[in-house]
Chain A
């Protein structure tokens, strides 16, 4: 069992739909990261969480420490949101990240 599990692996939505991507982890962590990988390959950091909830524009990330679970929500999805979304966790006392396999999101117009 991987330390970081994402679901679903693939997600297709219509423009305007509300999107949820889930991430579960099995080890103690100090922080959880959500990243976006564009079709061209570039990877950018979206959020870094240690608890609670963060919002940036149409993106919302939540984290439940007790359940070892995080969700990434996209409101009013748009075709430009099509990308791979990656969850990663950072262990206590270090900088190293362990990554999930990613969720491929396709938003159709």
Chain B
């Protein structure tokens, strides 16, 4: 099993450009999450999903959109990138109890 994979691993965007980050899991998990990690701060939840076709806002959702059209995939979109969105993005998935989260390898995004 590949576990949780993220595409791409690195990306550089110019301010105003758009992009989509793809997260895929092969563990048949119901729950999926998108986090960002910034220096000096803990992981912060952007959006999450408790099942196919559902999404919900996390702690820092502004400037991001998500979709969960298939159970195994969770997409994170940036419609108009800003330098403040420079960060490392992690995707995770968990079963519906006991909720142990499995993380992807991360995507390093730089917005110039």
Contacts and interface: CB of A to CB of B under 8 A. Distances in A.
Interface of A: 2, 4, 31, 33, 35, 41-45, 48, 86, 88, 90, 95-102
Interface residues of B, number: 24
Given A41-B105, A42-B105, A48 B42 contact: no
A99 B44 CA distance: 7
Nearest to B99: A95
A31 B99 contact: yes
Contacts of A99: 42-44
B103 A101 contact: no
A1 B70 CA distance: 38
Contact of A48 (B33, B40, B88, B98): B98
Nearest to A3: B42
B34 interface: no
B15 interface: no
B90 interface: yes
A4 B105 CA distance: 24
A95 B41 contact: no
B101 interface: yes
B43 A95 contact: no
A100 B85 CA distance: 20
A45 B101 CA distance: 7
B3 to A, nearest CB: 10
A97 B59 CA distance: 11
Given A33-B100, A97-B43, A100-B42, 17 more contacts: A2-B42, A4-B42, A33-B101, A41-B105, A42-B103, A45-B100, A45-B103, A48-B98, A48-B99, A95-B31, A95-B48, A95-B50, A95-B96, A96-B45, A97-B45, A101-B41, A102-B42
